[in-house]
Amino acid sequence: GSPNVSTATAVREQHGHDESMHPCAPPDVVVWPQAVGQVQELAALCHRCRVPMVPFGTGTGLEGGVNAVQGGVCFDLSRMDAIAELSLEDFSVTVEPGVTRKALNKHLRGTGLWFPVGTVG
């Protein structure tokens, strides 16, 4: 429904670029799934209709990966932000895709663990 789907130009443009130098390429529609089952149903529908799917987290990437160069459906995963399980014994945590590094570190505060900004070298 409307609180979870938008075709508004401003929303589409917000989801059509990241922090990269690439020009905005907005999707045709933005959806906010809130459960794995919704993502599965949307992905199956896009696959059947041969519509591109573009995942969107926070829009801070530097590669242009959220640019919908062929249009399609943007899956904004920010509302899927649950931290499902934390195991201090094996230093692992299970999170939904909308969990940010800052939110995770807030959850980990007081455990002696943290999730640093990663580097690829």
Count Cβ atoms within 10 A of the Cβ of residue 76 and give its class: 0-12 exposed, 13-18 middle, 19 or more buried. buried
Could you give the CA distance from residue 75 to residue 39 in angstroms, rounded to a whole number?
8
pLDDT in the model for residue 1: 73
pLDDT in the model for residue 58: 85
Query: Domain map of the chain by residue range?
Result: 2-76, 81-112
Q: What is the CATH number of domain 2-76?
A: 3.30.43.10
Q: How confident is the model at residue 117 (pLDDT cuts 50, 70, 90)?
A: confident
Q: What's the whole-number mean pLDDT along residues 58-66? A: 87
pLDDT tens digits, one per residue of 14-57: 999 999 999 999 999 999 999 999 999 999 999 999 999 999 98
Q: How confident is the model at residue 116 (pLDDT cuts 50, 70, 90)?
A: confident
